[in-house]
Amino acid sequence: MRNILITFLLVFISGLAGYPPLFAQNQPVSRIHEVSRIHGQVQDRSGKAVSGANVFIKGTVEGTSSDENGHFSFETSIQGDTVLLVRHISMEDLEIGIVISESMPALALRMYDKTNLVGEVVVVADQGLVLLDGSRATTLRTMDVETTAGGDGDVVGALQTLPGVQQIGNNGALFVRGGSSEEAKTLIDGLEITHPYYSGIPDLAQKSRFSPHLFEGITFNTGGYSALYGDALSSVLALTSRDHPSNTSTVLAMMLYGLKVGHDYVNPQRRTSFGLDLGYSDFGPYFKWIGHRTNWLDAPINKTANANFRQNIGDHGMLKWYGYGNLSDQKALVPDYAWEAGGTVLTESPLRVKNNNLVSLLTYTHRLNEHWRMYAGYGYNTNSDLTANPSLQTDTREQQHQLRLNLYGKTTERTAINMGSEVYFNSWDQQSETNYGIELFRRSLLKNNRWDTWVDFSYRPIRNLIAQVGLRTAWNEALVEDFLLMPRLNLTYHAAQNSFSASAGKYAQQPSSRYLYQAGNPQSSVVNPWADFGKLEHAEVTHYLLNFQRKNFGRTLRVEAYYKDYKDLVQTTPQLVSGGSGFARGLDFFWRDQVAAKGLDYWISYSWLDTERQYLDYPVQTRPTFAAPHTLHLVAKQFVEPLGIFVGGSYSMATGRPYYNPSAPAFLSDRMPTFHQINLNFAFLRKWGNTFNTFVFAVNNLTGRQQIFDYRFSPDGNIRTKVELPYKRGFLVGWFISIGKDRSDEILNQLP
């Protein structure tokens, strides 16, 4: 009997231990049997009643919803210190400590609108790349990359209708806010792409290599970017690659000048995936059809491969590899500006440009815990440009290894930190020989190594204010002042749908390899790895920006004013030094409306730019050739439901850029005529069986207007030739088929 009683007691006590109501955590102190009424009113910041708010005791189900007058009332048996939580879908959560007693006064609860998440300082993207640039960056999802009319199907083309970007018709690269194209950097998954554009004959705009459909996200920052990025004086275009596809699929694209085949595979557990696509294009027949003005001997032939591999590692890691390879070749008769016969006859001579490019990017991201992540990346770029004319052949090769490490996360509720380090091992080599194999010169820069580190700290002292302070260091083996400190600061204030931002920061960039080599020993024809690196420094710029943005359900307004102060730019005459300087100031305006009418999406972007610089061979400080004072874009896209098609159009205008005229009284004082261009595109989708088909038709320069981008002069200055758009109208006709998965939005995003 006694044994049974003991057993009973033991079992009873152990049972009580497992009885949640007696030992549960997070239960408020309760004196049972007393009931109190919690009541009051919920209002917004202007005193207006908030209906439908969820008012309750945190951690419990005791609560109620506020009525149409904002009033609430509920009873609870919980007494003493507790926390009242109020939630509403369009307001910031409100938590207040209250002491519940028998008789409670009416509570007046004030709620505030949610802050605009575009200004959120720490956005941890799935790919592990932290975007810390708040409202100053245009963050685009691939569907938002409105590769609208004129874009020609590449990322950069899409961006040229945004404010701050100059439209330079004979050069397809990014010229941002008075900066040259070299001042804009392209990154994929945090790793640098050394040659983001195709190589081609001079004065013919070359597209960027990467099409938007490869990427999950595109962040384009036109200035004042954070300490995460370096070696770019003007802007950073950061692309993040996609994660696992959900289905295996095959894609086939056919265009007037080529075709592409691709296949994506993902395993059933969705932890391993890989893809490959191969493309081939031959522009010969197409250029003939549109009457391309270049005198082609061999029109461009491009062979491209894109490959990717993704593997989940454990529960929190992701390994990604992206590879790209391209072989391109072209040959044309190009104007030979040597000007035969005493300077009056412009001759043409054949020029061949052959390019091989390979990119290999490997990244690993790991979620350490709820708040912290780490990233490691290795990037490899190799590029070879062979240019050959009847007498001379020059082979330029560049190779770069990059290693990037990054740790980032939230240190407290109000603070976050991002720190990291990256190293670059770069070598550059240029060899020229005659067509008889006699070496004329060899220039090598075998050790152009750099090391950057950064720390970026963000702090939210009060609800509406975010402060971001960063410091980046740069060390470059090839330069004089081999260690540079670059502070960067940003303050952003949110009020409802508005955000105001002020930034300042110091940025630097190393001179390009050909100048770095020259700085060593310009006359030598011997491999010169230890050239006297004493002559050049980092080019530097200080950015100051003020930004206002308002986002209100389908409408975006952004206005930004900036001032950039350049120093230590490369000068080549009378000697090679880092002695150039300049400034750029301007105003960018952007308005987008996606709700004005059903199915209509349009935007207007306007830029005013005032800039001068003295660099390279400029004898004085003046406006550079790539800066137009006023640039305007009007872009619109409309879905026509009865026909099931998208129609898009764009109008671009840029007032005259300077051009060089040897007879002009002042250097670069002549101005090009104002540029106007209209582009149009149509796209429609059809599903036939298991295939999703997208048809695209687009016209560039719809009116056939003559577009002049530059002039070239004879030595005596009397004869002038035009550098112009090489065709009257350009056309894109494409048929894109995906089997197994609807990938139609990938081609919609490539609409020119």
Partner 1 sequence: MKKNQIFQIVLLIACIGFVGTPKASAQQVVSGMLIPKVEQLNKGGLNTQSLKQLANELERIALAHPQDWHAQYYASLAYIELANLSAKREIDNLCDRADEYLKKAQLIRPNESENYVLKAYLLSARINVNAMFRGASMGRESKEQLDLALRHNPNNPRAHYVRAMGIYYTPAAFGGGKKKAKAHLDASLKAYRENTPANTLDPSWGRNEVEKLLVTY
Q: Which of 110, 145, 29 is nearest to 76 (CA)?
A: 29
Smallest distance from the beta carbon of 643 to partner 1, in angstroms? 7
Out of 526, 598, 620, 665, the only residue in the binding site for partner 1 (CB under 8 A) is 598
Smallest distance from the beta carbon of 458 to partner 1, in angstroms? 22
Binding mask 728-747 for partner 1 (x = CB under 8 A): -------------xxxxx--
Tell me whether residue 127 or residue 281 sits nearer to partner 1 (CB atom): 127
Residue 553 engages partner 1 in binding (rule: CB under 8 A):
yes
Residue 649 engages partner 1 in binding (rule: CB under 8 A):
no
Residue 2 engages partner 1 in binding (rule: CB under 8 A):
no
Strand (E) or helix (H) holding 281: strand 272-282
Dihedral sign computed on CA atoms, order 159, 161, 165, 167: positive
Tell me whether residue 114 or residue 506 sits nearer to partner 1 (CB atom): 114
Q: How far apart are CA 731 and CA 183, in angstroms?
A: 31
From the list 2-10, 162-170, 231-239, 530-538, the region that binds partner 1 by CB under 8 A is 2-10
Binding mask 216-255 for partner 1 (x = CB under 8 A): -----------------------------xxx--------
Please give the residues from 127 up to 146 whose contact with partner 1 meets the rule CB under 8 A. 141-143
Residues touching partner 1, count (CB under 8 A): 59
Tell me whether residue 42 or residue 445 sits nearer to partner 1 (CB atom): 42
Out of 394, 421, 572, 594, the only residue in the binding site for partner 1 (CB under 8 A) is 594
Out of 285, 529, 534, 599, the only residue in the binding site for partner 1 (CB under 8 A) is 599
Q: Is 227 helix (H, G, I), strand (E, B) or coil?
A: coil
Residues belonging to the chain: 752
Q: Quick one: three-class SS letters along 105-117?
A: CCEEEEECECCCH
Contacts of 42 (CB under 8 A, 6+ apart): 49, 50, 53, 55, 66, 70, 72, 86, 88, 109, 111
Residue 65 engages partner 1 in binding (rule: CB under 8 A):
yes
Tell me whether residue 248 or residue 473 sits nearer to partner 1 (CB atom): 248
Tell me whether residue 642 or residue 665 sits nearer to partner 1 (CB atom): 642
Smallest distance from the beta carbon of 372 to partner 1, in angstroms? 18
Q: Which of 486, 476, 365, 387 is nearest to 431 (CA)?
A: 387
Residue 684 engages partner 1 in binding (rule: CB under 8 A):
yes
Phi, psi of 135 (to 5 degrees): -80, -5
Residue 99 engages partner 1 in binding (rule: CB under 8 A):
no
Strand (E) or helix (H) holding 518: helix 513-520
Out of 297, 338, 643, 666, the only residue in the binding site for partner 1 (CB under 8 A) is 643
Write out the two tokens for 557: 């307004």
Out of 32, 46, 61, 574, the only residue in the binding site for partner 1 (CB under 8 A) is 61
Please give the residues from 359 up to 378 whose contact with partner 1 meets the rule CB under 8 A. none
Residue 550 engages partner 1 in binding (rule: CB under 8 A):
no
Q: Could you count the other beta carbons within 10 Å of the beta carbon of residue 502?
A: 14
Out of 59, 284, 317, 323, the only residue in the binding site for partner 1 (CB under 8 A) is 59
Residue 265 engages partner 1 in binding (rule: CB under 8 A):
no
Residue 595 engages partner 1 in binding (rule: CB under 8 A):
yes
Q: How far is CA 159 from CA 155, 219, 424, in A?
A: 6, 10, 28
Q: How far apart are CA 626 and CA 606, in angstroms?
A: 17
Strand (E) or helix (H) holding 427: strand 415-434
Out of 692, 709, 713, 736, the only residue in the binding site for partner 1 (CB under 8 A) is 692
Tell me whether residue 457 or residue 697 sits nearer to partner 1 (CB atom): 697
Q: Quick one: three-class SS letters along 474-499?
A: EEECCCCCCEEEEEEEEEEEEECCEE
8 Å CB contact between 439 and 430 = no
**Longest distance between any two alpha carbons in the chain, whole Å:** 128
Residue 314 engages partner 1 in binding (rule: CB under 8 A):
no
Out of 47, 461, 644, 673, the only residue in the binding site for partner 1 (CB under 8 A) is 644
Out of 634, 685, 702, 733, the only residue in the binding site for partner 1 (CB under 8 A) is 685
Please give the residues from 3 up to 42 whose contact with partner 1 meets the rule CB under 8 A. 4, 7-8, 11-12, 14-16, 18-20
Q: Which of 244, 243, 242, 262 is nearest to 252 (CA)?
A: 262
Q: Could you count the other beta carbons within 10 Å of the beta carbon of residue 348?
A: 11
Residue 517 engages partner 1 in binding (rule: CB under 8 A):
no
8 Å CB contact between 298 and 217 = no
8 Å CB contact between 650 and 149 = yes
In which region does residue 572 sit, left (phi positive, over 0), alpha (psi from -120 to 50) or beta (all else)?
Answer: alpha
Out of 563, 583, 639, 731, the only residue in the binding site for partner 1 (CB under 8 A) is 639
Interacting residues toward partner 1 by CB under 8 A: 1, 4, 7-8, 11-12, 14-16, 18-20, 52, 54, 56, 58-65, 85, 87, 89-90, 114, 141-143, 245-247, 268, 270, 553-554, 594-595, 598-599, 601, 639, 641, 643-645, 684-687, 692, 741-745, 748
